Structure 1
Amino acid sequence: MGVMLSVKNLDVFYGSIHAIKNISFDVQEGEIVTLIGANGAGKTTTLHSISGLVKPKNGEINFMGNDLRTTEPHKIIRLGLAQVPEGRRIFAKMTVLENLEMGAYIRNDGDKIEDDFEKLFERLPRLKERRKQIAGTLSGGEQQMLAIGRALMCNPKMLLLDEPSMGLSPLLVGEIFNIIQDVNKSGVTVLLVEQNAKKALEIANHAYVLETGTIAMEGDADELANDEKVRKAYLGG
Structure 2
Amino acid sequence: MAMLEIKDLHVFYDNIHALKGISLKVEEGEVVSIIGANGAGKTTTLQTISGLIRPKSGSIFFEGKDITKEAAHNMCRLGIAQVPEGRRIFSKLAVKDNLKLGQFTIKDSATNMEKDRADFYKVFPRMSERKNQLAGTLSGGEQQMLAMGRALMSRPKLLILDEPSMGLSPLFVKEIFEVIRQLKEKGTTILLVEQNAKMALSISDRAYVIETGNIILEGKAQDLLHNDSVKKAYLGA
TM norm. shorter chain > 0.5:
yes
Identity of aligned residues (%): 57
Match of 1:94?
Answer: 93
CA offset at residue 84 of structure 1? 0.2
> Structure 1 CA distance, aligned partners of 2:125 and 2:60?
36
> Structure 2 CA distance, aligned partners of 1:55 and 1:116?
33
CA offset at residue 183 of structure 1? 1.6
Match of 1:213?
Answer: 213
Q: Which amino acid aligns with 1:203?
A: I
Q: Contact 2:30/2:187 (CA < 8 Å) preserved in 1?
A: no
CA offset at residue 175 of structure 1? 0.8
Alignment partner of 2:37: what SS? coil
Runs of 4+, deviation exceeding 6 Å: none
Which runs of 5 or more residues in structure 2 are unaligned? none
Alignment of 1:171-190 (within 5 A): 171-190=171-190
Match of 1:122?
Answer: 122
Q: Contact 2:225/2:231 (CA < 8 Å) preserved in 1?
A: yes
How many residues in Structure 1 have an aligned counterpart in Structure 2?
A: 236
Asked whether 1:108 is paired with 2:114, we answer no
CA offset at residue 207 of structure 1? 0.4
Q: Which amino acid aligns with 1:132?
A: N
CA offset at residue 65 of structure 1? 2.1
Asked whether 1:202 is paired with 2:206, we answer no
Asked whether 1:56 is paired with 2:55, we answer yes
Alignment partner of 1:8: what SS? strand
Match of 2:66?
Answer: 67
Higher mean alpha-carbon deviation, 149-158 vs 67-76, is at: 67-76
CA offset at residue 186 of structure 1? 1.9
Cα deviation code 1:190-216 (max 9, x no counterpart):
000111101101100000000000001
> Structure 2 CA distance, aligned partners of 1:199 and 1:27?
19
> Structure 2 CA distance, aligned partners of 1:126 and 1:201?
28
> Structure 1 CA distance, aligned partners of 2:221 and 2:98?
33
Match of 1:223?
Answer: 223
Cα deviation code 1:135-157 (max 9, x no counterpart):
00101000000000000001111
Q: Contact 2:59/2:66 (CA < 8 Å) preserved in 1?
A: yes
Alignment partner of 1:120: what SS? helix
Alignment partner of 2:199: what SS? helix
Match of 1:232?
Answer: 232
Cα deviation code 1:52-83 (max 9, x no counterpart):
00000011100112221121111111011000
CA offset at residue 172 of structure 1? 1.1
> Structure 1 CA distance, aligned partners of 2:187 and 2:118?
17
Match of 2:82?
Answer: 83
Alignment partner of 2:115: what SS? helix
RMSD: 0.9
CA offset at residue 184 of structure 1? 2.2
Match of 2:153?
Answer: 153
Q: TM-score, normalised by structure 2?
A: 0.98
CA offset at residue 118 of structure 1? 1.7
Q: Contact 2:102/2:151 (CA < 8 Å) preserved in 1?
A: yes
> Structure 2 CA distance, aligned partners of 1:187 and 1:91?
28
Higher mean alpha-carbon deviation, 16-25 vs 174-183, is at: 174-183
Alignment partner of 1:168: what SS? coil
CA offset at residue 185 of structure 1? 1.9
